[in-house]
Amino acid sequence: MNPRLRALAQRVVASSFARSGMFVFAAVILGNAVNYAYLLLLGRLLSILDYGVVISLVSAVLLVNGAGSVVQTVTAKLAADLRAADDAERMSAFLLGINRVAFVVAGGFGLLSLACAGVVADYLHLDHPEYAAVAGIIAALGFIILFQRGCLQGFGYFRDYAISSVLDVVRTILVVPLTRAFGILGSLSAMLAAMLVSVLYANVALFRHVGGARGKAAPLDLRRMAVTATATGSSSFGVAFLMFYDVVLARHFLVPFEAGLYGAAAIAGRVLFTTVSFLPTILLPHISIRTTRGSPVTAILFAAIIVSALVIGPFAVVSAFAPELMIRILAGSRFAAAASLVLPYVLAAGALALANVLSSYAVGRHRFSFVPYMWIIGVLEVTLVSLRHGSAREIVEDILAGHGAVCCMMVIWTVRELTSTRNAERASAV
């Protein structure tokens, strides 16, 4: 091997960013495979109408937890700031406090979900409110997982983060026997069991690493944490909401059969977005710590952009030239009519995935001026979908326009931020 290439490979292997990326990327790939297997089995175990019901409920859970992923991003940012200070006592105090908050939030959301199950069932045109109740409990457990994974992410325990993510395999193991025995309720119960296992593992892992620290911790800067949490949360909520809201609206506006086809096409976009999501997971804490310590960050950002392109590009090419094959693989041959929706949905998801990478860089740098622009575009997109929803094609065209606008805005913002930083460095050197 060329000596320069060998030296580059050695630097990559030695890089904590690369090692973390390998763990999380492997977990994302396995998690995608597990999720794909779960949805694939559902497509073969359920009718198209029942599949539409389960997909709408799973999308509702993802919408709530996706919007709630603000919790994970905020927790990760705060945890990374504490990790940068190398203060084990404050890290332990933070973990204990976050754990209490997680269970209180989950309990409150679970009770609210049970109380509102009938309303949700009416909105999604479900005959059985208990389906919505189970989905609400799943979403409540998802909040605990978000808090836990935020701590694992921010504290840098990426191996345990990866294992916690891969434990979703439990749902795929249980989906066949439970769905055959209990139908839609069994499909949801398999997901519920996977959530419980993941919560237990992450809890044990965190307290093994951090919970044992003893001593009097220095007081936490709650005011700075509140400011950081608000700004970080606004960004994370915007991206997560844009990724997951559309299937729920499609279920409401479209006829059940067309909503089922839309849900099948959405799987391709979700797979792409989730695959790229390993980059923000590792990018945010690394950028945050390097910024705090005054280390350069540009190389890491460019590496993340390159890897994003290497994932999004081939996925888009396959979606353009073999959309029917992709939909058959992801959802089954009965959903082949959704093939025309695959490419625009994948392009929309790819644009939002890249915007997510760039927003994670911005949050890590403690720069939040892009957030209002993201929200303005997001509100315009949701308004457009609410007004123009005569067909699944119209909805997917609307989200492509909105997601593309968010991506363009983030690219422009990032270029301006990098230019401003470089000019400031040159001015200080003079």
Whose tokens are 């980059």? That residue is 279
Any idea of the CA torsion for 26, 31, 36, 37, to the nearest 10 degrees? 100
Instruction: Give tens-digit pLDDT for 136-187.
Output: 999 999 989 988 988 888 888 888 888 888 888 888 889 999 999 999 999 9
Q: Which two tokens stand for residue 279?
A: 């980059």
* Confidence (pLDDT) at 3: 58
Q: With beta carbons less than 8 A apart as the criterion, state whether 18 and 253 touch.
A: no
Q: How far is CA 61 from CA 140, 170, 395, in A?
A: 9, 17, 20
Most confident of 219-233, 238-252, 327-341, 380-394: 380-394
* Whether pLDDT at 210 is above 70: yes
How would you class 197 by CB atoms within 10 Å of its CB: exposed for 0-12, middle for 13-18, buried for 19 or more? middle
How would you class 234 by CB atoms within 10 Å of its CB: exposed for 0-12, middle for 13-18, buried for 19 or more? middle
What is the rounded radius of gyration, in angstroms, for the C-alpha atoms of the chain? 21
Most confident of 87-101, 292-306, 308-322: 308-322
The lowest-confidence range among 70-79, 339-348, 357-366, 392-401 is 70-79
* Confidence (pLDDT) at 212: 59
